[in-house]
Structure formats: C-alpha cells, structure tokens
Amino acid sequence: MKWTRFPVALTFALAAILQFFAHTGALAQEMPRVKFVTSAGDFVVELYPDKAPKTVANFLQYVRDKHYDGTLFHRVIDNFMVQGGGYDGKYQQKPTRPPVVLEASNGLKNEVGTIAMARTSDPNSATSQFFINVTNNAKLNAPSPDGFGYTVFGKVVSGSETIQKIKSTATGAAGPFPSDVPKTPILINSATLEKKS
C-alpha cells in the first residue's frame, strides 16, 4: 500500500477540527448543580469550578456536610441581594471551616441571578455565607471600591421565582441584626448536590 502525504492545508484543517471538538467537549461537561429547598420554594444553582475552583470546592464541602440545612436567609435587601448560609433558625451563627482565598478576578460578574461569596473587609475571609444578586451589582466586581471584589462562582438556573419571592419579602430587625431580616423567617430546609442522570 502506498502512503501519500496530506497537503499542509488539510493537516491544519484536521488539527483545527480536533481542537474544536476537544474545546466543545470540555464546554459540554456538566457543571455541578446544587438544589436548595426552602420555605419560600426551591431553586437550583449551577457552579463553575473552572472559574473559581477553591470557592466551588469550599461551597460543595459545606453542602456535603449539610451545613446549609436549617439555616436562614438572614439578610434580604430588595434591589441588591439575598444572603444566607451562616445562621440557624434561632439566629445563632454556625461554626465554619477556615476561610477560602478570594477568586473575584475570574471574569464572572455580580449580575442578576449569580451567586457569590459573602465576606468581611478582609478579602480572604469568605467561609460559608453566600448571596444571590437580584440586580446587576457592578460595584461588587473586582476591582470593587475596596479594591478586591466579591467572588462569583455560579448562577441560578431554575427557581428564579423563588429568589424573587425572597427579595420581595418584608424585613425588619431580628436576632442580632437591626434591619434587613425577613419578618417571616425563610429557612433553607436542604441543599443537595444534584446527581447526574
């Protein structure tokens, strides 16, 4: 059998095709999803470990540890965000693992429906608390006014009506907080990693 050489142009074309399929195959990989069952309804977030690997690993460990089960959305500000994951039903702060390093400069923006980590003024202080943006919060993107930004690591992919319901709830003082606490407590009953079908 006589072998013939591929023309150079055809070789490059085949390489481009293989690269395309390798790239789209990577994009097609399913990102982890977490389902939240709350007293206000359910919602699902899709996470992006390719953009925020340490943050996603930290968040998923809290999910596996059942840390979020029985916690409250303790801070709700309409036209800003809804925050939870740190306090139980009696407004007692739950113990956490060591904080995770900031990954805010990952290209993801604090836009409507995205989930990000809450933190203190220390950029590397995020532990278990998260928030979901209910408007486009450009001031939270890196570099934010404090110079660091807030790490976005996923987005709500179903149940946005639940987030709308939470953000619209009446708020006031409760527990150690002087304001922004839902007057009717909104409890996270469970947060579970969805199994791939």
pLDDT digits (tens, 9 = 90+) for 61-115: 999 999 999 999 999 999 999 999 999 999 999 999 999 999 999 999 999 999 9
SS3 165: helix
pLDDT-derived band at 131 (thresholds 50, 70, 90) equals very high
pLDDT at 146 (0 to 100): 74
Q: What is the spatial distance between Cα 110 and Cα 122, in angstroms, rounded to a whole number?
A: 19
Record the pTM: 0.84
Q: pLDDT tens digits, residue range 71-84? A: 999 999 999 999 99
Q: What is the mean pLDDT of residues 129-136?
A: 98
Residue 195 pLDDT exceeds 70: yes
Q: How far apart are CA 112 and CA 52, in angstroms?
A: 18
Residue 115 CB partners (closer than 8 Å, separation 6+): 45, 47, 130, 131, 132, 133, 152, 153, 154, 155, 156
- 8 Å CB contact between 41 and 165: yes
Contact 127, 90 (CB under 8 A): no
Residue 107 to residue 58: CA distance in whole angstroms = 19
Domains in the chain: ranges and CATH: 30-193 (2.40.100.10)
Tokens of 161: 């009506």
Residue 25, pLDDT score: 45
Distance CA 60, CA 128 (A): 10
For residue 16, pLDDT over 90 is answered with no
How high is the pLDDT of residue 82?
98
Give me the pLDDT at residue 145, please: 74
